[in-house]
Each structure stands twice: as structure tokens, then as C-alpha cells.
Amino acid sequence: MDISGLFGPGRPRRPNIIAREYVVVSGHYYASLAGFQVLEAGGNAIDAGVATGLAIEVLESQFVGFGGVAPIMVRLADGTVRVNGVGPWPAAADINLFHAKYNGRIPDGLLHTVVPSAPANWIEALRRWGTMSFGDVAAAAIRFARDGFPVYPFFHEIIKDKQHEIARHPSTAAIFLPNGEPPPVGSIFKQEDLARTLQFMVDAERAAGDRQVGLQAAHDAFYRGDIAASIARYQRENGGWLVEADLASFRAKVEFPCRTHFENFELFGCGAWSQGPMLLEALNILEGIDLAALGHNSTAYVHVLTEALKLAAADREAYFGDPDFEDVPLNVLLSKNYAAVRRALLNPTKAWPGLPPAGAARGVAPPPWQPDPSAGSGAEIASDKPSTSFLCVADEHGNVFAATPSDGTIGGPVVPGTGVLPSMWGSRGYSGLDHPGRVGPGRRPRMSANPAIAIRDGSLVMPFGSPGSEVLGQAMLQVFLNQAVFGMDPQSATEASRFASYSWPESALPHNYRPGALCVEADIPSAGLEALGHRVEVWPERKYLAGSVVTIQADLATGIKWAGADPRRTAYAVGW
């Protein structure tokens, strides 16, 4: 198959990286290089993906943390696709506490802590699908943490912006505010405690000998050893819920992904604990519309994408939660017949002023949406909390790895001596007693992070994803359609101007909701959108809040791989 047949004209500011064997794309150039070096050493896409993810947790620790979350999606050479994701609330989590003491609010602090999933997810991916040891793939991350890396402008910018929040936690400030100030651009930034934590896990693995036994030893070094004891002790002394038993009992949960079809693509997304099915439902709604005829980023095009996303978001609010606890009707929500019903509510000449009504996915319409008690009142401001990263890898064997690590280390108190902030993804919680994403023992909080993979005609594999909270799924949708409908190459697709709706409650507390708000980058005309009823805010071109999508197109027939890396942040691709 001639891969060039997919591409239309485009003028990217950066070149596409075109590889004959393998390629890595991530949110930071050093992380992509770390993954590339693992591939050069004989590792597969899973080995390289884990190495890249571990490095990202050091290099982008303003967005991502080793103790955080790391949803992973893998497409193996045999065609099998699997996914794992977020950790659960501790066994002691009590939703009634928020009502008894805080009037339904979920206060900032250690009560946001859920069981860290990232270490277990990385190790489980290696155990099931990798070939290397944890020590092999963690070597670059340890070096970046121990010896440091040069502070780059975007790292400095975010630390400076969040300086007052970081200063609230002395153990975190000691790392990210040396001498009480953000580290200057070009200075060497170290996380020596984190390096020792990673090395402790590597040493435990090496002492075990056998690869499988060693990987379990590395897992146990975090979840059952001195690290777990330090985390639990800090939680106990400072009013948190997480205890050693929560950590010791945790195992990465591997699942089948959700999926749908869009024209000649099969798309895979994470489960209803994520934004994944929302993206797939939006694509189902859009499949019945001639998007190419509307014109790329025309007023009509921006409008219909925004309205389709609102319809899917309304269903997310009504139905999405941890499927281990909630009966989420995904077979209906992701069906083409249901999409046709939802599509009929899309008015091409008028925007929904806020969140549309959810569909009757269980046969009857759910109650009208109401703000969750955890949202409080008056929280109608845009979130400017950039978090999360994304990475993807494709190797010469046909394996593809995609991950959306998240949970920045600056987001709360680092456990002294470990360099680790246990996951604060309880900040995605809800206190409504009937809310599908509510707080509860063992429940996984509902999040936005969502690695995705698209496969065209069984021979072109396209991992894609982005950081950006509520924006990430919207950015992913646009970049996918840029390629699938408008024939853009990956780099042009990531650089093209974007837009983002805020017309539904955000995942993160305080679940900000800005009815009708639509942000557009400066080269997207806004007057026509305002005439349709959107409340338009104009962003500068290439605004970092518009996401930072990275993607690969891997042609399984020719072996050629094209990679795109979004210049809105510090994403880069490396390949051969």
C-alpha cells in the first residue's frame, strides 16, 4: 500500500519524521531519545514506550508524576489491543465525610489521593508484552533525575505560574522551588530522591534474578516495601485515607478497549472511567455528516464538531463511571442507531446554549443535568491547569504503544525522601450520592486521559493522543479528522489550528462549567460562530491550552512510519 495516498497538501512548520524501522514521539525530546535508544538496543515498542513514559515522569514532572496515573493502550503485532488505566479510591474513602464536614465539597489536599497506578501499569506492560527488564528501561529516567536536565522555558513557565500553589507544600517546594524561586531556564534540575526510589526498585529486581520474578520484585519494592511504608505513614500522619493494604493489594487491571468504526477506520479508546467513549460517540455522530464538504475549520465545520462533542459530553455526564461498579450502557452509546438519534438533535444553524439533554440510553431519559455538590457555586471560570502528557511508539514488528501519563508532581505534597507524589486523581471525584463518577472504596475516578489507536483497513495503524484535560479529547478528534477526512500528513495535522469547547463540566474539581464557551485559535474566523450562538474567546495561534497532540501513521505493508509532534509544547519525534 502506498502510504502517500492518504496525504493531502500541507505546509507544516516542522518536518514529518519518516522512519523505516521504528519511531518514538513524546512530549519531550529527551524522552523520545530515551525510547529510541531502547529500540536501538533491541527492545520492542512496549519496552521503548515504558522507557519513554518513565523519562517523561522526570522531564515533565510539572505535568506528570511517577506516583500518578498512566493509561496505556497496546496494539500487538497479532492485532490484539489492550488497555489499562487509573488506580482506585482507598478502602477507607467515605463520600459521606464530604457531606458531613464540607457541604458536599471535596477539599483540596490528601483526601484527593487514590492508589498510584503508574508504576504498576509500566511494569505490567513490560511483564506481558515487553522483552527488557525494569532496570533496562528505567536507566534514562534515573539519569535524568539523578544528574539533572537543563530547565527548558516551558518547564520554567509552568513552575512560575504555579509557584504559590507549590509553596504550600514544603516537601514539594524543596524540589521545584530551589532557593524559594522557580529554577532558571538553562539551570540543571535534579530530583535525587526520585532517582533513589527508581534505583531501589531496580536493585530489588536485580536481586531477584529471573526476569518475571524480578519485575514482580520491582513492583513489590514500590507497593509493599519501604516506599509503600513511607507513603502510608505520611498519609496517616497528615489525615489521608491511603494505607499500606491499599498499596499492597493493587494490581494493574488490563481490559479490552472500547471501539467503533469511522468510515474505513476502526478506532479503539479507553473505558468509561475515561473520556474514551465520548470521543468515539462524537465520531459516530459525525460519521453521518459530509465533513469534507463543509471545509476544514470553516464556521460550519467548527460548529458541527463542537455540537457533536456537546451531545457526547451530555451522555458522559449522565452515564460514565467505573464499569466495575456502574452499568454503563456502552453497547447503546456507541451504536450507530443511537448516534443517528443524537445526530438529529444537532442544529446546523444554532448552538446549544449549554449542555444538551442526555440520551435515553437505558430506554428512558435520565433526569436533567444538575451541578454536582462537589462543584460548589460560581465556578464558571476556565481551567488553566495544564496536566498530562502523551507518547506513542511503533516498532518494526507491528507493535504499537500509546500512553497518557498524568498527575503532575507539583500537584500536592511529595512524600519526603521518596520524590513521589501519590496520585491526586481524586481531584476528579464527585460527591453526588447517585453520580456515576462518585467517590467510593475501590472505585476508579473518572478522568479525561485517553490514549487511542485507529486502524485503517487492517494495515495502517495510527496511535494518537494529547494532554489537556477536557481539551485533550477535542484536540484528538480534530487531529484524527485532519488525517482521515482532509488527508493531512501527521505533522500538518498536529499543527493545524484548533478550537475547544468548555460547554460541559470539566473532569477536574471544581468541575468548571462555562455554557456556550468556545475558544478558537486566532486564525479561525469567529464572527460566524458567534452568529450561531457560541460565546467565542480568541486564543493566540498555537496556544498550549489547545493540547499537544502526537501521532504516528505506521504502514504495516511497507514498514514506513510517519510521525507528527505538536509544537505547542515541547513534543518531538525520533525515528529510524
Give tens-digit pLDDT for 136-161. Answer: 999 999 999 999 999 999 999 999 99
pLDDT at 11: 62
pLDDT grade, residue 306 (50/70/90)? very high
Judge contact between 347 and 307, C-beta under 8 A. yes
> What pLDDT shows up at residue 79?
86
Distance, CA of 204 to CA of 201 (rounded, Å): 5
Place of cell 498550549: 544
Average pLDDT, the chain: 94
In 3D, which of 119, 50, 157 has the Cα closest to residue 418? 119
The percent of the chain in helix, strand and coil, each rounded to the nearest 5, is 40, 15, 45
pLDDT at residue 80 in the model? 87
What's the pLDDT at 82?
84
Q: In which band, very low, low, confident or very high, does the pLDDT at 84 lie, cut at 50, 70 and 90?
A: confident
pLDDT of 59: 98
Predicted confidence (pLDDT) at residue 6 exceeds the cutoff of 60: no
Residue 50 backbone phi and psi in degrees, to 5: -65, -40
pLDDT tens digit sequence for 34-75: 999 999 999 999 999 999 999 999 999 999 999 999 999 999
**How confident is the model at residue 482, as a pLDDT?**
98
- Enter the DSSP assignment of 368: P
Which stretches of 90-231 are assigned E, i.e. beta strand?
A: 149-150, 188-189
CB 312 within 8 A of CB 477: no
Tell me the pLDDT band of 378, cut-offs 50, 70 and 90.
very low
Number of H helices, E strands in the chain: 20, 21
Q: Is 93 helix (H, G, I), strand (E, B) or coil?
A: coil
pLDDT of residue 122: 97
Looking at the predicted structure, is the pLDDT value of residue 516 above 60? yes
Nearest residue to 110 via CA among 93, 130, 96: 93
At position 478, the amino acid (one-letter code) is Q
d(CA 390, CA 472) in angstroms, rounded, equals 10
CA distance 514 to 517: 6
Residue 2, pLDDT score = 33
How far, in Å, CA of 525 to CA of 355, rounded?
A: 24
Distance (Å, rounded) from C-alpha 24 to C-alpha 19? 10
Please tell me the distance from the alpha carbon of residue 244 to that of residue 230, in angstroms, as a whole number: 9
Pairing of strands 81-84, 499-501: unpaired
Cis omega (within 30 of 0) on the bond before 178?
no
pLDDT at 308 over 60: yes
Cα–Cα separations (whole angstroms), residue 275 to 243, 281, 471: 29, 10, 10
Q: How far apart are CA 309 and CA 302, in angstroms?
A: 11
d(CA 248, CA 228): 8
pLDDT category at 385 given cuts 50, 70, 90 is low
Query: Does the pLDDT at position 379 exceed 50?
Result: no
Any bridge partners for residue 392, and if so which?
25, 402
**Residue 377's pLDDT is what?**
31
Q: Which of 418, 414, 89 is nearest to 226 (CA)?
A: 418
Per-residue pLDDT, 220: 98
Quick one: CA dihedral 99, 100, 102, 103, positive or negative?
positive
The percent of residues above 70 in pLDDT, for the chain, comes to 96
Q: How far apart are CA 266 and CA 455, in angstroms?
A: 5
Strands of 389-524, DSSP E: 391-394, 400-403, 406-407, 452-456, 460-465, 499-501, 517-521
Give how far Cα 156 sits from Cα of 162, 175, 372, 401, 570, Å: 10, 13, 35, 29, 12
Measured CA to CA, the distance from residue 81 to residue 402 in angstroms comes to: 11
pLDDT at position 383 = 42
Among 313, 395, 408, 410, residue whose Cα is nearest residue 352 = 313
Q: Say whether pLDDT at 376 is over 80.
A: no
In the beta sheet, which residues pair with residue 260?
A: 267
